[in-house]
Chains A and B, each alone.
Chain A
Amino acid sequence: MTVISYRQALHDALREELLRDEDVLLMGEEIGRFEGSYKITAGLLAEFGAKRVRDTPIAEEGFTGAAVGAAMLGLRPVVEIMTINFSLLAIDQIVNHAAKIYGMFGGQAKVPLVIRTPGGGGQQLGATHSQNIELYYAFVPGLKVVAPATPADAKALMLAAIRDDDPVLVLENLALYNTSGEVPEDLEPAEIGRAAVTRTGRDVTVVAYSRMAVVALDVAERLAAEGIDVEVVDLRSLRPLDRDTIVASVQKTNCAVVLEDDWLTYGIGAEIAATISDGAFDWLDAPVRRVAMAEVPMPYAKSLELAALPSAEDAAAAIRETVDAVARRR
């Protein structure tokens, strides 16, 4: 067991898969000679050569489409889209081609494509470069979307994504790249579609993913000192969504708060709340609360950016109110 960064965990997963399977190749802007905007692919061009680690033009639709074609013909391309914001330029390739070809053509061609891309705000990158729009992809049948919160999950889910025969979008997060955690040397690929209960508790279920799953654990530790025993469910996968784990947890705690970095209206939290209503209605002792970003394009000013993003304080307040509403605080 070694402690490495989320960035390093992603790097290690890519390198191991490049070594393991000759059909794996990496594509993206500045991933080769520049070693990636966030240095995930550092050293890989030198080790595996330009045939396996390909710098592309600044043309997301073009190189994503090329990767879809390569995947249909048997390669296993891993495309880096510099941030999820730029995936909008490739959304037709992702939504209309990668997601649909297998079903539309009767299973004649699989699309074992991976799209790696970070989301997240908080870096003062402005409204167009600070979005959390994984929902656009989690919405689409035919795609899988995973969202690791820890270095171990980053590696295990990346391994699983590359070995999966369906197109998988791996949502990374700018704020998580420098976080670190224990990663076993012989880590196996994760099972895509499984959430994890990362902290067990009796009083309230907090559902989150990616950065907010880390925030959830921090808040849970803080609230433990106030006598609130929080259970944290880290979704890890947005599609497929592990409804069973969410429902089972809420059946135990009888109330839930959902944390999300995206906007509230029509967001992932709405889907979680609906899942709880469907599966645990008769176990609910309080309405499901959602904590999300302000409904504005991300402001540039640091103070406004911080105010717009959901904070640990926002999460703690919603959790306290929920626990007080069911008179559960000890």
Chain B
Amino acid sequence: MIDILMPRLSDTMTEGAIAAWHKQPGDAVSPGELLVEIETDKALMEQEAYEAGTLAEILVQVGENVPIGTPIARLDDGREPADPAPQPDAARRAASPLVRRIARERGLDLAAVRGSGPGGRIVRADLDPAGSPSPTGPLSPSKGTPGPLSPPGSLSPSKGTPGSPSPTGSLSPSKGTPGSPSPTGSLSPSKGTAGPPRTPGPLSPSKGTPPPQPPSPATVPFDAIRRTIAARLTESATTVPSFTATASADVEDLLGLRARLNEAADEEEPRISVNDLLVRAVALALRTHPGVNASYSAEGGGATVRHDAIHLGIAVASPAGLVVPVVRDADRLAVRSIAASTRELGRRAAARTLAPDELADGTFTISNLGMYGVEHFTAIINPPQGAILAVGAARPELALVEGRPVERRRLRYTLTSDHRIIDGALAAEFLATLTRLLEHPLRIIA
């Protein structure tokens, strides 16, 4: 059985409509015969059959519009459907625990990685294709490493649990499950090696081939996180019609408030940064303008998806590259809680120990380069979010206060918006609300 797919008939074609079927279910089809007429964005085109057989089923009726690659009919070529290859489905890619840990720490999307292990399993080598000797040892010595050896008494009073791999001289009531559940009869004359069934899985790419040439000195091949960044931002920059709008606020009072909050804090409380106040202010501004806390959806003829929750992504430079941990429900957190949360997320980003759920579900992103002294900049939207705020440094400027020039510090920030769902006026209203909050900082903590 062969699936006939909606063909790509031009470079710009993304979907096509069936104009006419020239064969009906039960008809014999031979290669070269006219099968179907397809209407594209450019033209009406005839499509021939490539294989011989009997048209078994029409899946897309005349007039219906489907994306390229969609099965439109099934051709019975007399062969049984092949067993689905052991290719992992999108929901659960087979990946070794080591790979899953690395993906978790680097925020990698394994869907983009081709697995070369048995059955398509993603193994460590697939993440670092350059073949460089990469550190595979314990990344953090404190994590998951077994505790020190206890004296190996034959009767140690502590109950050894298998979860903590300490030598068990005595009691170890472990409930074990076999790794490879092949039932072994009471007498099975085959030799007792246990392991995966010997499927002729894909061989290692390096086997029997000369080692890959070292890359030239100026070339640093992308690792998977860099590939993900490149793919997502290219998609955003090339498919999202975006515009930018810049505003600024006098943050003298904000900085004064921050100083007072930190003076009043206990030793053990986290110190509050300008960014923490900014996160809270943005969250409040988003609550006022839910149209900015939204995503574009292509469903139907297109839709604006307004998010109930306000989950703010904070762009962080980590050793692995850009990561965006998420402060969940930022509008419901006190500034002190936001400070504790962003500090912990930043620490874990640096240690590459962020969990997937700490990187997921952001509804809006803040990128702050103020600590580098950047005056202002524009950021690229992090899809599927609708907008991103790029924040510069608070810089001293001359201002007129009651007609007299005084030195005041101003902060500039630029909102990049997806114009499909956010119009200029909405972006401006959001920025105005944000500016009012920043210039009246008690409203941020009230």
A residues sitting closer than 8 Å to B (CB atoms) are 99, 102-103, 141-144, 164, 166-168, 191-194, 237, 239-244, 246-248, 251-254, 263-265, 269-271, 273-275, 277-296, 307-308, 310, 314, 317-318, 321-322, 324-330
Contact = CB atoms under 8 A, between A and B. Distances in A.
B165 interface: yes
Interface stretch (B147-155, B306-314, B403-411): B147-155
Interface string B204-245: 111100010000000000000000000000000000000000
Interface stretch (B12-20, B72-80, B115-123, B332-340): B115-123
Given A141-B171, A240-B168, A251-B137, A310 B191 contact: yes
B176 interface: yes
B302 interface: no
Interface in B169-187: 169-172, 174, 176, 178-180, 184-187
Contacts of B171: 141
Contact of A289 (B100, B154, B185, B193): B193
B193 A326 contact: no
Contact of A252 (B137, B166, B193): B137
B116 to A, nearest CB: 6
Nearest to B191: A294
Kindly name the residue among A251, A278, A327 whose own CB sees the greatest number of chain B CB atoms within 10 A. Answer: A327
A278 B162 contact: yes
A330 to B, nearest CB: 7
A326 B165 contact: no
Given A264-B194, A274-B174, A291-B193, A240 B184 contact: no
A325 B180 CA distance: 16
B167 interface: yes
Interface of B: 96-101, 116-118, 121, 123-126, 136-138, 144-149, 152-155, 162-172, 174, 176, 178-180, 184-196, 198, 201, 203-207, 211
A326 to B, nearest CB: 5
Contacts of B170: 141-142
A330 B211 contact: yes
Contact of A247 (B97, B165, B190): B165
Contacts of A293: 191-192
For the complex, would chain B's binding face be called helix, strand, loop or mixed by DSSP majority? loop
Which 5 A/B pairs are nearest by Cβ-Cβ distance? A193-B152, A264-B192, A279-B165, A166-B154, A327-B204
14 contacts: A99-B154, A164-B154, A239-B154, A239-B168, A241-B168, A243-B146, A278-B163, A283-B97, A290-B192, A295-B188, A295-B190, A324-B204, A325-B121, A326-B96
Nearest to B133: A202
Contacts of B188: 294-296
Nearest to A322: B195
A274 B162 contact: yes
B206 A329 contact: yes
A326 B117 contact: yes
Nearest to B190: A294
Contact of B152 (A192, A270, A288, A326): A192
Given A244-B165, A325-B117, A292 B192 contact: yes
A240 B192 CA distance: 25
A269 B180 CA distance: 12
Nearest to A252: B137
B224 to A, nearest CB: 15
Given A103-B155, A294-B189, A327-B123, 4 more contacts: A166-B154, A278-B163, A282-B97, A327-B126
B193 A243 contact: no
Contacts of B123: 285-286, 325-327
A325 B192 contact: no
B207 A243 contact: no
B193 A310 contact: yes
A143 B96 CA distance: 37
B162 A327 contact: no
Given A289-B195, A327-B117, A282 B178 contact: no
Contact of B180 (A144, A243, A287): A287
Contact of B184 (A247, A286, A295): A295
B259 to A, nearest CB: 43
Given A285-B124, A288-B179, A294-B189, A243 B166 contact: yes
A278 B165 contact: yes
Contacts of B205: 327
A318 B178 CA distance: 18
A314 B193 contact: yes
A269 B169 CA distance: 17
A254 B124 contact: yes
A96 to B, nearest CB: 15
Contacts of A308: 191
A330 B184 CA distance: 35
A241 B186 CA distance: 28
Contact of B187 (A102, A247, A296): A296
Contact of B193 (A193, A247, A282, A292): A292
Kindly name the residue among B116, B147, B169, B180 whose own CB sees the greatest number of chain A CB atoms within 10 A. Answer: B169
B99 A318 contact: no
Contact of B167 (A142, A240, A283): A240
B192 A295 contact: yes
B194 to A, nearest CB: 4
Contacts of B179: 273, 277, 287-288
Contacts of B186: 295
Contact of A279 (B146, B180, B196): B146
A160 to B, nearest CB: 10
